[in-house]
């Protein structure tokens, strides 16, 4: 490791700023989609491809980000990622059609796939263990503030300026970021090179791209059936080929052997089901408020950001909930409550007072964020330290894939309801049907979480079945109460949906 030559807080600020730019971009865009659809002369239902193309590219390239940084150096990779994201932003602003926007968003996604994971890796390499818990907390703030600022900012931009400025605002931030990375961040490489699984990256990328784009095209009802069948067929074949390749490779790009660990396996399964609902929210809610309620973009943005405020409030309360309840009850009962609150969004109508909508969204953001904090922590409870890097790549890939799937499934449910009711365009009842569909998928997660061992993750949460024992242990070792953030690897931080935000998810 290169010798540290700058204050870790400076590095932390640079990394947090890059993450903020990425989180802000996604949530600003979600609010602007109906306006952009009119600009492109496209169906608003087809605009979800602008979100899924970015998320899909993230899922394809995130597994390789850590190994690229090990080989070429953290500073070089981080700087290149910011530059690529910035170039993608310029291309998005200049896009004349929806499909050129999709291509530009994929360029952005390639940069984003390296920017956040490598940024976290840079932080972990310069921050001491004694500073890590506090640094983790600070690093999570931009992932939460981005979804808070994004919707109202997006509404303001498309109402009073032009949707192009959604992407142009990234340019000065990106240029400044490249300069600061060059000046303040050291080049850090691994001295021992691990074999790079190029075949695995190609096979897994092909499988993810073809399967998700096949589902995406089918969900929007565009394209011939044979195109969908061909994409899913190629994707399925590539997935099977990767499965056999991974069993033979010593360091596969995505290591399915990790699924033998119960806590990791259940976190992947349950987290995927829950994140499908989270991925649907940034697509369905702004469109419902604008097309169904008749709100302007700036008005809808002033509503949708409320759930992120609930997410921010959770940061303070999560250790207390996990310590008092333990992981299993949080994943079961808090997860069920979060799903019920999501389903309540199906009942939103223009006659509802705004404060009632705010209360539902605020509570939903709070409990969803707590649920995902638990998923993102329990996933690594029993993973050996030697497998932490592989586990992070695997888990983060499935995070992004499930968010992409959420958008595709919600678009399919919305289009299906429109077709069944014979509407020319989505009505409020169609949005309600889509919300209830994704909520039904999400409700399977707390049911599956009931299979988790009641004592799972007790060392991380500080929870004990017997209050007396917990009190005695807390008196003897107060530090045990805090979540074991120091044991978490790169990428273990809750995401962002906007995406887990949008968020942290």
pLDDT confidence of residue 210: 83
Q: What is the mean pLDDT of the chain?
A: 76
pLDDT confidence of residue 37: 80
Domains along the chain with CATH numbers: 8-184+253-502 (1.20.1250.20), 198-252 (no CATH)
Coil vs helix vs strand at 110: helix
pLDDT confidence of residue 503: 39
User: Do residues 489 and 388 make contact, with C-beta atoms less than 8 angstroms apart?
Assistant: yes
pLDDT > 70? residue 120 = no
Picking from 25-34, 94-103, 131-140, which range would have the lowest pLDDT averaged per residue?
A: 131-140
Residue 215 pLDDT grade (very low, low, confident, very high; cuts 50, 70, 90): confident
pLDDT mean over 463-487: 42
pLDDT > 90? residue 340 = yes
pLDDT confidence of residue 130: 47
pLDDT > 70? residue 131 = no
pLDDT mean over 338-348: 91
Name which of 223, 207, 170 is nearest 63 in CA terms. Answer: 207
464 contacts: CB under 8 Å, gap ≥ 6: 458, 470, 473
Which of 400 and 77 is assigned the larger pLDDT?
Answer: 77
User: CA dihedral defined by 458, 463, 468, 474, rounded to 10 degrees?
Assistant: 90
pLDDT > 70? residue 445 = yes
DSSP label of 349: -
Residue 144 pLDDT grade (very low, low, confident, very high; cuts 50, 70, 90): low
pLDDT confidence of residue 497: 39
pLDDT mean over 147-159: 72
pLDDT confidence of residue 220: 60
Residue 62 pLDDT grade (very low, low, confident, very high; cuts 50, 70, 90): confident
pLDDT confidence of residue 180: 83
**Each residue's pLDDT tens digit, 253-265:** 787 888 888 888 8
Which of 154 and 124 is assigned the larger pLDDT?
Answer: 154
Name which of 256, 499, 312, 462 is nearest 377 in CA terms. Answer: 462
Q: State how far the Cα of 195 lies from the Cα of 42, in Å rounded to an integer.
A: 45
pLDDT mean over 476-501: 39
DSSP string of 189-227, one letter each residue: --SSPPPP-HHHHHHHHHHHHHHHHHHHHHHHT-S-HHH
pLDDT mean over 339-360: 91
pLDDT confidence of residue 388: 67
pLDDT mean over 134-159: 67
pLDDT mean over 472-482: 39
pLDDT > 70? residue 453 = yes
**Each residue's pLDDT tens digit, 390-444:** 777 788 778 777 877 887 788 888 888 888 888 777 888 889 999 999 999 999 9
* Helical residues (DSSP H) of 47-160, grouped into ranges: 49-72, 74-94, 98-126, 129-160
Coil vs helix vs strand at 502: strand
pLDDT > 80? residue 450 = yes
* pTM as predicted: 0.71
Share of the chain above pLDDT 70, in %: 76
Which of 103 and 131 is assigned the larger pLDDT?
Answer: 103
Residue 386 pLDDT grade (very low, low, confident, very high; cuts 50, 70, 90): low
pLDDT > 60? residue 470 = no
pLDDT > 60? residue 133 = no
Residue 468 pLDDT grade (very low, low, confident, very high; cuts 50, 70, 90): very low
Share of the chain above pLDDT 90, in %: 8
Picking from 147-151, 160-164, 367-371, which range would have the lowest pLDDT averaged per residue?
A: 147-151
């Amino acid at each position: 490791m290169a010798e540290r030559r700058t204050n870790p807080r400076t590095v932390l600020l640079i990394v947090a700023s890059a993450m903020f730019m990425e989180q802000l971009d996604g949530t600003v865009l979600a609010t602007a989609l109906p306006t952009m659809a009119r600009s492109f002369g496209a169906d608003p239902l087809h605009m979800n491809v602008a979100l899924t193309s970015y998320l899909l590219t993230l899922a394809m390239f995130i597994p390789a980000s850590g190994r690229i940084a090990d080989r070429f150096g953290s500073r070089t990779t981080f700087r290149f990622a910011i530059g690529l994201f910035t170039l993608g932003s310029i291309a998005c602003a200049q896009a004349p059609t929806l499909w050129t926007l999709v291509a530009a968003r994929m360029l952005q996604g390639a940069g984003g796939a390296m920017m956040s994971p490598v940024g976290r890796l840079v932080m972990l390499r310069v921050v001491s263990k004694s500073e890590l818990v506090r640094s983790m907390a600070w690093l999570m703030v931009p992932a939460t503030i981005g979804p808070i600022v994004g919707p109202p900012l997006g509404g303001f931009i498309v109402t009073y300026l032009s949707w192009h400025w959604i992407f142009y605002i990234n340019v000065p931030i990106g240029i400044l970021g490249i300069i600061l990375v060059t000046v303040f961040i050291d080049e850090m490489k691994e001295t021992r090179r691990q074999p790079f699984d190029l075949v695995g990256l190609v096979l897994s990328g092909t499988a993810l791209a073809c399967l998700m784009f096949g589902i995406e095209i089918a969900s929007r009802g565009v394209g011939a059936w044979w195109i969908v069948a061909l994409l899913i067929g190629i994707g399925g074949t590539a997935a099977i080929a990767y499965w056999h390749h991974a069993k033979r490779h010593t360091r596969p790009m995505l290591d399915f052997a990790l699924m033998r660990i119960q806590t990791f396996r259940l976190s992947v399964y349950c987290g995927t089901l829950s994140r499908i609902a989270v991925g649907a929210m940034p697509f369905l809610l702004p469109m419902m408020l604008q097309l169904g309620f008749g709100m302007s973009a700036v008005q809808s943005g002033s509503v949708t950001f409320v759930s992120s405020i609930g997410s921010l409030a959770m940061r303070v309360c999560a250790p207390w909930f996990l310590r008092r309840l333990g992981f299993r009850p949080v994943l079961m009962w808090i997860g069920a409550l979060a799903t019920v609150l999501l389903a309540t969004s199906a009942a939103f109508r223009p006659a509802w007072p705004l404060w009632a909508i705010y209360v539902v969204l605020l509570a939903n953001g709070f409990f969803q964020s707590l649920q995902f904090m638990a998923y993102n922590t329990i996933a690594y409870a029993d993973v050996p330290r030697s497998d932490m890097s592989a586990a992070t790549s695997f888990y983060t890939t499935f995070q992004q894939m499930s968010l992409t799937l959420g958008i595709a499934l919600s678009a399919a449910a919305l289009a299906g309801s429109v077709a069944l009711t014979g509407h020319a365009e989505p009505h409020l009842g169609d949005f309600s049907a889509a919300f209830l569909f994704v909520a039904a998928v999400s409700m399977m997660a707390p049911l599956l979480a009931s299979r988790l061992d009641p004592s799972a993750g007790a060392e991380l949460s500080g929870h004990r079945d017997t209050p007396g024992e917990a009190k005695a242990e807390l008196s003897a070792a107060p530090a045990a109460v805090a979540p074991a953030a120091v044991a978490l690897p790169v990428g273990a931080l809750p995401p962002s949906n906007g995406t887990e935000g949008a968020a942290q998810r």
